[in-house]
Chains A and B, each alone.
Chain A
Amino acid sequence: MDFAFNEEQLMIQEAAAGFLGKASDSAAVRTAMESPQGYDAQVWQQIGQELYWPALMIPEQYGGVGMGFVEQAILLEQMGRHLLCAPFLSSACLATPALLLGGNEPLRETWLPELAAGTMTATLAFRQARSGWLAPHQPSARAYAQGWRLDGEYDAVLDGASADLLILAAAHEDGRLGLFAVPADQAGIERSALPTLDQTRRLARIRLTNVTVAPAQSLTLDQDAAALLEQTLQIGAIALACEQTGAAQRCLDLTLSYIGERQQFNRPIASFQAIKHRCADLMLHIENSRSAAYYAACIAQQVLAPDGDAQLKAELIEAAPIAKSEASEAFMLCAADSIQLHGGVGFTWEYDPHLYFKRARASEQLLGTPAWHRERLAAHILESRP
């Protein structure tokens, strides 16, 4: 047990902070979020081909770097801090884990090297429930001689318009769930980018009309994919919690820097106890969020490792909801207070707090709200004690 970063991990953290401090400063974020694609293709190319971030936790046999989810978590915290606009969460934290955890080796061999290099991106498409993960009705997968035909619609898919590969969730006629890897340009797929409240992260509607998929495209080789999807979403939620933690920290840092300079009543407003105590509470929430996110990242690492510890793997069911609910609330609170403590300028487009506030709201919703995760946790706790 050593719940601290080692030297190599600290170097990764420092390098990520250094790169993003320039490549994703306020001006860069604003340019990216107003661009048609939603991110800077050149920065993404650097991330893939110079920094190897999408490759980080992909095993070497698929062209990856072969590190773990803890290293990924370090990157995510820095990405959140700098509000990076990029398809990392969708491609490296949802689609990649789905491929890694699914049982289809040829699919891994086909797609992972491309995803590792960043020359392609992927996303996971499923119909979202109002407050949780899966809506009761997913698009349908009807069997035919050569596989299945998919029909239906996904209302809001993360980076759905820009991804090259789609991992599609669909329900078989017998109620089992399927997950299929489908190139985005396949016939019958219609994608439309949606304008979003949080402009730093893109959503798209995807409509499927008679999209044919072969058995070889099934991530689970025709087995029920419900458990795989569940695990993937838990890992995605943990990744998001790491990102939210970094973003929450940045909200406090921006605020501290502003209130240290802003003078009223001949004092910096940071010297007023009403403000100090509020900032202390923000730090409390951020540290809680960080501890929960790091712990969950260690659990995710075990889940993704072929030889992961069984006892630690079993903690996924509580580590994910704890991290996602703590981090969502910490980020929302820090972003909201960041606007309040900036005073009037916090309400302007020019200052950054609104960018974080909007990201906070979108992230709180994405992959399960705090209340939804807590209900799942409650069910787990109570059902394990008959």
Chain B
Amino acid sequence: MKIGFSAEDEAFRQQVADWLQTHLCGEFEPLRFRGGPGDEHMFPEERKAWERELAKGGWIGIGWPTECGGRGLSISQQVIFHEEYARAGGPGRMGHIGEGLIGPTLVALGSEEQRQRFLPGILEGREFWCQGYSEPSAGSDLAGVKTRAQLENGEWIINGQKVWTSLAHESQWCFVLARTEQGSVGHKGLTFLLVPMEQPGIAVQPIQQLTGTSEFNEVFFSDARTAANNIIGAPGDGWKVAMTLLGFERGVSTLGQQMQFRNELEEVIRAAQDNGADRDPLIRQRLAQAWAGLKVLRYNSLRMLSGTQDGSLRGEAMIYKLAWSNWHRDLGKLAMDVLGPQAELLEGAPYQLSRLQSLFLFTRSDTIYGGSNEIQRNIIAERALGMPREPRAR
């Protein structure tokens, strides 16, 4: 067990920092510290241009295997990249669903042909992806998806509705979990489809959130089409593929997320120092608790990423979603308590939120999306602690 980085790693850190300093400037300067959670709807075109800039520098897919176009960098160097990226105020990544979720899934389970078709678009920052899992009647019970797809004349014809789809209107592709076996129930008969977004059969409707902004969308499929070979795995393997993909949510990108959290925490600390809340003993306790909690998230991630990478989720990985979502939600509340009466005043009409107000409101979604806290606790109890399953209603 060792922490700390080698001299070679530190040289790499300098290389990353230098590149960011010379590239995250000029036209990209306004993007610094923007586009994170709660701010994802801002500057979409500029952030896409930034993705292409990152791609030119070779900074997309740094952990992917070299035979798939990645750089095959060590975990340590990936950690360093994420640390430096956030330190420099690197904008929220438009390409994170492609790079972090579907890309690794294609590497693991895609065909050679699919890898050649889709990975370059992700690595070059040209093609963006969104995730078609949740539906109005399939939230926590994801296996209840009703969106249907059937093969007709060498094409899948898709009908149904997805919801809570981030970046749907900014994406060229969506991966869709759909029911392909008529009359099937639960996680049987599902297939994992890759569907182009720019077609007449797809309509995207933004959802106005309690923040007043719209980062999530509804996506309607009415005879939407995709080629027969645009599925990962075989028809009927959809559940397995969907779960493999979710496993990548706990990868090295968690460190990037934490560095964004760090920037938010620094802003809360600054606010406390500016208005004197930092002299209130209870606020001091909570600031220290937030600081400690974020460090512990980092230590958890370092444990997740170290040792045997056999894909099995150990304890520290199982608790990760519950840990970060609670931490982030508490930070949002702390931000308001630090600001005090000032927290009530908007930056402008009709409903222009400051970053900390946005943090407070947006973090209410963290404990719901990606498996609600209640579902996380079921997963921990049943899979990590081996407790009996819920009796199922018939």
Contact = CB atoms under 8 A, between A and B. Distances in A.
A277 B307 contact: no
A280 B326 CA distance: 14
A276 B1 contact: no
Contacts of B376: 280
A178 B5 CA distance: 37
Contacts of B3: 1, 3, 295, 298-299, 312
A191 interface: no
B384 interface: yes
A188 to B, nearest CB: 41
Contacts of A110: none
Interface string A273-311: 101110111011001101110110111001000000101
A33 B384 CA distance: 34
Interface in B343-387: 374, 376-378, 380-382, 384-387
Interface stretch (B94-102, B135-143, B148-156, B281-289): B281-289
B288 A381 contact: yes
Contacts of A256: 385-387
A318 B285 contact: no
Which bracket fits the contact residues of B? 35 or more
Interface string B63-87: 0000000000001100100000000
B4 interface: yes
Q: Which of A280, A318, A374, A377 has the most CB of B within 10 A?
A: A280
Contacts of A1: 2-5, 9, 75-76, 79, 302, 306
Interface string A1-29: 11111100100000000000000000000
A273 B382 CA distance: 10
A199 B287 CA distance: 35
A159 interface: no
B359 to A, nearest CB: 19
A283 B307 CA distance: 21
A2 B389 CA distance: 35
Interface in B310-340: 315-316, 318-319, 322-323
B75 A287 contact: no
A218 interface: no
Question: Looking at chain B's contact residues, is the secondary structure mostly helix, strand, loop, or mixed?
Answer: helix
B302 A382 contact: no
Contacts of A271: 387-391
A126 to B, nearest CB: 24
A320 B161 CA distance: 51
Nearest to B5: A1
B362 to A, nearest CB: 22
Contacts of A6: 1
B387 A295 contact: no
B300 A5 contact: no
Nearest to A255: B385
Q: List 10 A-B pairs, minimum CB-CB distance, nearest first.
A: A4-B307, A276-B381, A291-B299, A280-B377, A374-B288, A271-B388, A280-B380, A378-B284, A4-B306, A3-B302
29 contacts: A1-B302, A2-B1, A3-B1, A4-B306, A6-B1, A70-B1, A271-B391, A276-B382, A280-B319, A280-B378, A283-B380, A283-B385, A284-B322, A288-B323, A290-B316, A291-B302, A292-B299, A294-B1, A295-B302, A298-B3, A311-B4, A318-B291, A318-B295, A322-B292, A326-B292, A371-B285, A378-B285, A378-B287, A382-B287
Interface of B: 1-5, 9, 75-76, 79, 269-270, 272-273, 278, 281, 284-285, 287-289, 291-293, 295-296, 299-300, 302-303, 305-308, 315-316, 318-319, 322-323, 374, 376-378, 380-382, 384-391
Given A283-B385, A378-B285, 8 more contacts: A2-B1, A271-B390, A279-B380, A287-B316, A291-B316, A297-B1, A375-B285, A378-B288
